Amino acid sequence: MSFCFLFGFGISCVTNSTHPKAKIQNIDYLIVQGKLLWDQRLDSLALDKAEHFINLAHRQRENDFDLSILYSQISFTRGYFFEKNIQIQDSLFLQGSLSCKKAVMAHEDFIPIYISSKGDSAFRLLSAIAGAPLSLVPGLYWWAVNLGMYLNNQPVLERIKHRELLEVIMYRVISLDPGFNFSGPYRFFGLLYTRIPGIELSQSKTYFDQAIAANPEYLGNKVLISQFYYQKAGDRENFHITLKKVLETDLNKYPEIMADNFFYQKKAESLLKDELILFE
């Protein structure tokens, strides 16, 4: 848009170039505020506002790698810890997964690897992921975590269909940064191998034990082994003992992970309330 002004015998036109700049500043503002509120997510109102701001920003910058990761984390948090409706929960996990997949595939470090890979589109994707650099670890991790959670409620054939993709993604994360997100890759495989038929359940236990041994302070490792492995194995005693210990944990001892541990304590409380139903 331009505006013209008459000066003497000439016309001077001024182009309005402030709108694009204002839009960028507005998106930047949404991201800054969303991150600040995310850091305060122990307050449910702050989490709601963080979700709102980051969703608005993400719609405008879907290929922004860091923003997509945060968007995916918020989707996971909302879906796993708060949402009771299975359909809405699955929708949150799916959108979190797709946001990271898109950001990974649009990343400047991934594109040349994908282009140089051979084979059909599916094989090229797996090959490129297997050669992905360290810079892509957060996107790969949250892509797989949300997809894995989404598949938990899908038919067995869907889980089998996506098994190779999930394994390739998370094995790459393990090779690059095994301690990412407090042994998250090991925690992921512990969960996954309770949901894929034909796999020895002991494999799940091995991965969960590795996660707990490396990061006993992170309550997610203990909550997930209880929810998935102990329940699948019918081990009600360890299910109960482990979750009770989670509830007895002093959150102030590890302030840097207080928010995650707080949410996992709430999840442990919910699982214990459903113990009779879960072990019928």
Residue 242 shares a structural domain with residue 271: yes
What's the pLDDT at 10? 40
Residue positions counted in the chain: 280
pLDDT at 24: 84
Is residue 160 located within the same domain as residue 218?
Answer: no
Residues 262 and 207 in one domain: yes
Same domain for 199 and 139: no
Contacts of residue 38, defined as CB under 8 A and 6 or more positions apart, other chains included, come to: 46, 47, 50, 54, 70, 73, 74
In a domain, 23, yes or no: no
Residue pLDDT, tens place only, 173-182:
999 999 999 9
Distances (CA, A) of 77 to 38, 72, 86, 259: 11, 9, 14, 11
Cα(227)–Cα(272) distance, rounded to whole angstroms? 10
Residue 161 confidence (pLDDT) above 80: yes
Of 176, 206, 235, the domain-final residue: 176
Residue at 15 is within a domain: no
Note whether 172 and 253 are same-domain residues. no
Is residue 269 domain-resident?
Answer: yes
- Taking 70 as the threshold, does the pLDDT of residue 8 lie above it? no
Euclidean distance between CA atoms 97 and 87, whole angstroms = 15
- What's the number of domains the chain is made of? 2
- Please give the C-alpha separations between residue 84 and each of 36, 45, 81, 280, in angstroms, as whole numbers: 26, 18, 9, 21
The pLDDT of residue 11: 41
> Is 144 a domain residue?
yes
Q: What is the mean pLDDT of residues 218-235?
A: 98
Same-domain status, 201 and 170:
no
If asked whether residues 225 and 273 sit together in one domain, one would say: yes
Let me know whether 210 and 156 are in one domain.
Answer: no
Instruction: Give me the pLDDT at residue 215, please.
Output: 98
Q: Look up the domain containing 256 and give its range.
A: 178-280
pLDDT at 143 > cutoff 80: yes
Residue 120's DSSP bridge partners are: none
**Which pLDDT score, from 0 to 100, does residue 21 have?**
76
Q: What is the pTM of this model?
A: 0.91
